[in-house]
Amino acid sequence: MKHLLLVPIVLLAASCTSGGGGSAQSSAQPGHGSITIQIVPNPIVAQHLSGSMYSFPFDAVVRETGGRPVNITRVSADVNALGGIHVASESYEAARISSLGYSTQLAANGELRYHFAPQKAVADERLFSSVSAVLRVDALDDTGTPASAQTAVTVTR
């Protein structure tokens, strides 16, 4: 699978977030499609390349858990710094995701795995403890009922 260039702001967040585990939330209606998202590994382990360059390899795994096919409609990220100041957000709709060569269709009880391997310059290692991000995935099941999931992205050195 190609390296996913889906959400550049997530790459920034992955390169700067604090260590520790993430939290995940999902919402769906009983009897309809439901999704979960998991970052593997979480925390992401920053790998020093040279100078101020780091690599942040991880997979974003989206699973359907409600027993109905779903279509991913949007992937977004919100980035906060310094204790909650919103500094950036990014959102990709289904058409953009598809144009990058990645599936947005998720079979009932199926899984999509997107691989990220961003490389970012981190000029000051103190940034590893001052930025946090939440990755969110929105979907519609085959009846048009919405489902969503989100998880916190964390990084350690």
Regarding beta strands 119-121 and 53-55, do their DSSP bridges make them parallel or antiparallel, or are they unpaired? antiparallel
Identify whether 69 is preceded by a cis peptide bond (ω within 30 of 0).
no
pLDDT in tens, the chain (157 residues): 443 333 443 444 443 433 344 556 666 667 899 999 998 988 878 899 999 998 888 888 999 999 999 999 998 888 776 777 787 787 889 998 898 888 999 999 999 998 878 788 877 777 777 767 788 999 999 999 999 999 998 777 7
Tell me the residue length of the chain. 157
Tokens describing residue 136 = 């969110």
Dihedral of CA atoms 55, 59, 60, 64 in degrees, nearest 10, equals: 180
Structure tokens at 77: 């990220």
Question: Which residue is listed with tokens 């691989």?
Answer: 115
Q: What is the pTM of this model?
A: 0.75
Q: How many CA atoms lie within 13 A of 75 on its CB side?
A: 26
- How far is it between the farthest Cα atoms of the chain? 52
In the structure encoding, which two tokens stand for residue 157, read together? Answer: 């050195």
Residue carrying structure tokens 């099941």: 141
d(CA 15, CA 7): 13
**32-58 pLDDT tens trace:** 999 999 989 888 788 999 999 988 888
Q: Round to whole Å and give the CA distance between 48 and 140.
A: 39
The class (CATH top level) of 8-156 is mainly beta
Q: Are strands 47-50 and 85-93 parallel, antiparallel or unpaired?
A: unpaired
- CA 30, CA 49: separation in Å to the nearest integer? 46
Residue 123 DSSP code: S
